[in-house]
Amino acid sequence: MDLGTWHIVFLLLIGYLAGIINTLAGGGSNLTLPMLMVLGLPADVANATNRVGIFVQTLWGAASFHRHGELPLHDFKGIFLPLSIGGVIGALAASYAPVTYLKPVLLLTMLSMTAIILIRPTVVIPEPGTPTRPVKGNPSAWVMLFLSGFYGSFVQAGVGFVLIMALAGSLRYDLVKSNALKLLCTLGFTSIALVIFISRGQVAWLPGLILASTMMLGAHHGVKFAVKAKASQLKWFLFVMTLCGSLAAFYF
């Protein structure tokens, strides 16, 4: 496809913002997906193309968190099993079906999360020093991770909020480690989805790679902020982004 200068500029700017937002909370795809459709991509191609940037951003972000010692891996096998099962089913569904059916679910999830953070924040955001819980013997976490994998592979937009509810709310990781694990989880089911989308010829590589270049940069700066920020700052950033994500999901 042909891209004008302003198209490229907007893709670069949106990609950078989305990289920061996705690293610290979630919902960056609520910016990138509409932008790709404005360029004339059909919804299924825009959904597939968006995964190129997500793949690069999450790979870079997870590696950066790991370098800072904030990526806990002791229970990742347990986390990845339900996530990958949901991811395969969600990617196959997205490749053959419209992406609009899960929008009401996303909106309800984010509105609920916004209300919980405001009224009872410890339900989603554990107090410092709270011990983590393993996935084994934790059916609510298993279900949340399966749904995260399904939703993330199906449409991507807003999956960060669902993952934070699973990782911080059910498994009780703090927000920094939840964000680090969230990126690694997203990398897992995005890889599954991307393979399926590429095999079906649904990826527009030029806009996808342009987005990826600055989404990676946004992730780099997002990680730097996350490891230095106070827990209260991350909590309020998550609250604001959840609220913004809810509004974006409603209007777009």
User: How far, in Å, CA of 30 to CA of 125, rounded?
Assistant: 23
Residue 70 CB contacts under 8 Å (≥ 6 apart), including other chains: 176, 177, 180, 226, 227
User: How far, in Å, CA of 158 to CA of 244, rounded?
Assistant: 11
Reported confidence tier of residue 206, pLDDT bands at 50, 70, 90? very high
> Would you say 191 and 173 are in contact if contact means Cβ atoms under 8 Å apart?
no
Residue 69 CB contacts under 8 Å (≥ 6 apart), including other chains: none
User: How far, in Å, CA of 29 to CA of 46, rounded?
Assistant: 10
SS3 203: coil
- Per-domain boundaries in the chain: 5-251
* pLDDT score at 103: 59
> Would you say 39 and 49 are in contact if contact means Cβ atoms under 8 Å apart?
no
Reported confidence tier of residue 246, pLDDT bands at 50, 70, 90? low
* pLDDT score at 53: 93
Q: Tokens 């891996």 appear where?
A: 73
Bigger pLDDT: 114 vs 5: 5
Bigger pLDDT: 252 vs 215: 215
Segment 111-120, tens digit of pLDDT: 676 677 667 6
Segment 34-76, tens digit of pLDDT: 888 888 888 778 888 998 999 999 999 999 999 998 898 888 8
* 112 to 19, 174, 206, 239: CA distances (angstroms): 24, 20, 37, 11
Sign of dihedral through CA atoms 81, 70, 120, 240? negative
Residues constituting the chain: 252
* pLDDT score at 73: 87
User: How far, in Å, CA of 81 to CA of 44, rounded?
Assistant: 26
DSSP for 134-183 reads -STT-HHHHHHHHHHHHHHHHT-TTHHHHHHIIIIIIS---HHHHHHHHH
* pLDDT score at 113: 64
